[in-house]
């Protein structure tokens, strides 16, 4: 499998060179072809971090599929080299769609198995540690880390350029002792969920307040500074649609770190979408709540980076609450975007520019929100193979129009539905 993977890498690099050469002589869809060339060049930059001794065998299938997509891109670019006798606007538009789809296809295949993340951290991780787990209840999801370290020839560099809050993140946040948390959880007996970097427990404080206690392990792969990062962000946020950080505990003897947060008793948006059956007022309330929470985060200069149904929980009043800031970053000064050299997030919700470009902004979160909005309205979940551009097709529009019976929904509600559909 390693030989297959490495041969696929070589093929992709060779085809990328042919695409670069062909783009110089295209006679139609020049801008779209330039986008393809930049996208494939980005892929090559990632792959050139690998050599034959470091190609993870688990990447074999992804690399084979990726090579096929890049080869398909070359075929389309070559078609654009031909000069048509009677050029048609429709033909150029059709080709633009084909080029756009193959570019999205390349992006999706890069995301398979957190492909780009595996490439950037492979030299510093043992293969058995490369995967990251998720928590079924949504209290803990960790698909990547806020900082990815890449060591080469003795040098260690940060591959993501982001800001860090320098003030003391712990001011105003209660520090719990380990014994207090042990008592609150009845000896850590009530597990809400498990993940690759820790466990979430249900707890009850002395005052009777229900809490979620998130235990994270401190290790070389997930250092204490990354935990400080989540504290930095969580301590400054105060909004009803953003999870409230109540306290923390550092158990140095066992190298365990705990975050104490609000408990969300009504489960996750992921569960609700799977169950479906929501009426429109409930859907609209959820959409508004998520939008308000995301708007608040952006006003605080926070890029969330991993908005998805599993990271949206519901409190006792069924208000949606955004949780888990392990991947979030704070924009520095007047910056509107950041440079991010690794893929972070969840497939199906990641904005295309996270793959095709190195710059990420608040628009990336808005893209994820749009996907979630469509899922809420339709009751259909996005899968890794979903073709997001096709969600705007005539078939999908007809499906939207049939979701709500006009006889059962008044005109003002239909206006809301259509506005949300268009926004998504």
Q: Annotated catalytic sites, by residue?
A: 306
- With DSSP H G I counted as helix, E B as strand and the rest as coil, what are the percentages for the chain, rounded to 5? 45, 15, 35
Separation in Å, CA 9 to CA 53, 65, 114, 344: 13, 11, 17, 22
Question: Token pair for residue 354?
Answer: 């996270």
Residue with tokens 């078939």: 395
For residue 246, which phi and psi values (nearest 5 degrees)?
-95, -25
**Strand pairing class (302-303; 359-361):** unpaired
**Strand pairing class (160-161; 337-340):** antiparallel
Strand residues in 42-197 grouped as ranges (E): 149-152, 155-158, 160-161, 174-175, 191-195
CB-based burial label for 288 (10 Å; 0-12, 13-18, 19+): middle
Helix (H, G, I), strand (E, B) or coil at 193: strand
Residue 250 belongs to what H/E stretch? Answer: strand 245-251
CB-based burial label for 224 (10 Å; 0-12, 13-18, 19+): middle
* CA–CA separation, 243 and 138 (whole Å): 12
Sign of the torsion angle spanned by Cα atoms 31, 339, 236, 271: positive
DSSP 253: G
354 is in an annotated binding site: no
Contact present, 177 and 249 (Cβ < 8 Å): yes
What are the binding residues for ATP? 215
């Amino acid at each position: 499998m390693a030989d297959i993977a490495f041969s696929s890498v070589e093929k992709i690099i060779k085809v990328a060179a042919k695409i670069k050469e062909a783009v110089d002589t295209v006679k139609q869809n020049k801008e779209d072809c330039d986008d393809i060339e930049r996208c494939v060049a980005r892929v090559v930059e990632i792959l050139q971090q690998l050599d034959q001794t470091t190609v993870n065998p688990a990447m074999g299938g992804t690399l084979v599929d990726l090579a096929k997509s890049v080869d398909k891109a070359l075929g389309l670019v070559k078609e654009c080299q031909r000069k048509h006798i009677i050029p048609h606007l429709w033909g150029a538009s059709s080709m633009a769609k084909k080029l756009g789809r193959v570019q999205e296809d390349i992006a999706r295949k890069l995301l398979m198995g957190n492909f780009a993340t595996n490439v950037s951290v492979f030299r510093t991780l043992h293969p058995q540690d490369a995967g990251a787990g998720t928590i079924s209840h949504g209290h803990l999801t960790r698909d990547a880390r806020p900082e990815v370290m890449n060591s080469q020839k003795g040098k260690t560099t940060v591959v993501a350029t982001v800001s860090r809050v320098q003030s003391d993140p712990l001011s105003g946040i209660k520090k719990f002792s380990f014994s207090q948390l042990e008592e609150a959880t009845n000896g850590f007996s009530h597990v809400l969920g498990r993940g690759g970097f820790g466990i979430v427990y249900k707890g009850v404080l002395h005052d009777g307040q229900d809490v979620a206690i998130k235990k994270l392990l401190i290790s070389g792969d997930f250092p204490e500074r990354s935990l400080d990062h989540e504290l930095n962000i969580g301590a400054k946020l105060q909004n009803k649609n953003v999870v409230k950080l109540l306290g923390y505990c550092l158990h140095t003897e066992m190298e365990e770190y705990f975050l104490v947060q609000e408990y969300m008793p009504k489960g996750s948006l992921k569960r609700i979408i799977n169950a479906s059956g929501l009426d429109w007022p409930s859907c609209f309330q959820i959409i508004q709540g998520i939008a308000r929470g995301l708007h608040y985060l952006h006003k605080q200069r926070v890029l969330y980076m991993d908005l998805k149904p599993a990271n949206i929980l519901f409190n006792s009043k069924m208000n949606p609450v955004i949780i888990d800031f392990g991947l979030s970053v704070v924009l520095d000064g007047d910056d509107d975007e950041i440079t991010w050299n690794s893929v972070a997030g969840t497939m199906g919700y990641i904005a295309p520019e996270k793959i095709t470009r190195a710059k990420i902004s608040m628009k990336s979160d808005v893209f994820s929100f749009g996907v979630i909005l469509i899922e809420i309205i339709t009751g259909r979940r996005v899968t890794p193979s979903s073709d997001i551009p096709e969600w705007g097709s005539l078939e999908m529009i007809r499906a939207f129009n049939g979701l709500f019976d006009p006889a059962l929904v008044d005109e003002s509600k239909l206006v809301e539905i259509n506005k949300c559909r268009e926004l998504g």
